[in-house]
Amino acid sequence: MRNARGDTFENTPRDVIATGNEYPAHYVIAAHAHRRSQLLYASTGVLTAITSAGSWVVPPRRALWIPAGVSHEVHMGGHVSTRSAYVTQEAARAVGLPPDCQVIAVSPLLHELLQEAVDLPAEYDLGGRDGHVMALLLDEIRRASPLPLSAPLPRSKRLAALCRKLLDRPTQEIRIDDMARRAGMSRRSFTRAFRAETGLSFTAWRQQACLLAALTRLGKGEPITRVAIDLGYGNPSAFTAAFRRVLGAAPSRYLAAPKR
């Protein structure tokens, strides 16, 4: 179904329901949760989803899996076209879908299944072609590879508040000593607590935050040089090297739609 809210179908007697929506640049979907799990697919454009556990950036042709009950807000970096599949908790558990949020790669087949699914009636024929499409869609979600496109937030309120501010304006120039001082902690206590609560060193987390911000800005068409300098990299080459090292491809290639 197109241009419909996901919660419209919470009680529809089908394990999987799909919707398609168009959003203008800078549109924000306020924090909310669903009784069903959601696969949020950025068919075009870049979006960012934020939960109490962290921030996830979803470039074109990637999708975010959001388990049922997880409160999340969504920010559109530019004009974004989405396709969403809403899955009952029972169906998600039955096929072994993830218990946590994660960005996944969207295969050409999964892309086509999502495009097809949004045009199916809400109460599609379970035993016919439509039911087979939805069953295959679930299997493709299960088979998808996770991608390193998140920045986890610390559990403690003090560190989480500092990290949220840095996510708003990330830069490579912020140092460990700066963050420790703002947190009212020694350098040693800060680095220990940060790794224990996020699973990452602060240096790795800071780089991740910068790369996620870069994806959003590059997705809106901003030039690499400006993005690299704003994020505190010495030059575009240093930024591109860091991007390729973490995400496996140069920025232009990473944001290009996969060949089908």
pLDDT at 129 over 80: yes
- 177 neighbors 135 (Cβ within 8 angstroms): no
Q: Encode pLDDT of 136-185 as tens digits.
A: 999 999 999 999 999 999 999 999 999 999 999 999 999 999 999 999 99
Nearest Cα neighbor of 121 from 113, 111, 131, 112 is: 131
How far is 46 from 63, CA to CA, in rounded Å?
10
Please report the pLDDT score of residue 34 as a whole number.
94
Q: How many CA atoms lie within 13 A of 128 on its CB side?
A: 6
Q: Encode pLDDT of 212-223 as tens digits.
A: 999 999 988 899
pLDDT at 57 over 90: yes
pTM: 0.90
- 56 neighbors 67 (Cβ within 8 angstroms): no
Please report the pLDDT score of residue 255 as a whole number.
84
Element (H, E) at 228: helix 224-230
187-196: long-range pairs with CB below 8 Å, 24+: 193/154, 193/156, 193/159, 194/154, 194/159
| CATH 1.10.10.60 domain position(s) in the chain | 153-255
- 61 neighbors 258 (Cβ within 8 angstroms): yes
Structurally, at CATH architecture level, domain 153-255 sits in Orthogonal Bundle (1.10)
H helices, E strands: number in the chain: 10, 11
Is residue 79 very low, low, confident or very high in pLDDT (cuts 50, 70, 90)?
very high
Give DSSP secondary structure letters for 163-181.
HHHHHHS--TT--HHHHHH
pLDDT at 3 over 70: no
What does the mean pLDDT of the chain come to? 93
How far is 19 from 146, CA to CA, in rounded Å?
23
- 79 neighbors 24 (Cβ within 8 angstroms): yes
Q: Which CATH number applies to 6-147?
A: 2.60.120.810
Is residue 63 very low, low, confident or very high in pLDDT (cuts 50, 70, 90)?
very high
Q: Encode pLDDT of 228-249 as tens digits.
A: 999 999 899 999 999 999 998 8
| CATH 2.60.120.810 domain position(s) in the chain | 6-147
198-207: long-range pairs with CB below 8 Å, 24+: 198/152, 198/153, 198/154, 199/152, 200/152, 202/176, 203/176, 205/151, 205/152, 205/163, 206/166, 206/170, 206/172, 206/174, 207/172, 207/242, 207/246
DSSP code for 195 = H
Q: What mean pLDDT comes out for the span 186-211?
A: 96
- 117 neighbors 67 (Cβ within 8 angstroms): no
- 104 neighbors 145 (Cβ within 8 angstroms): yes
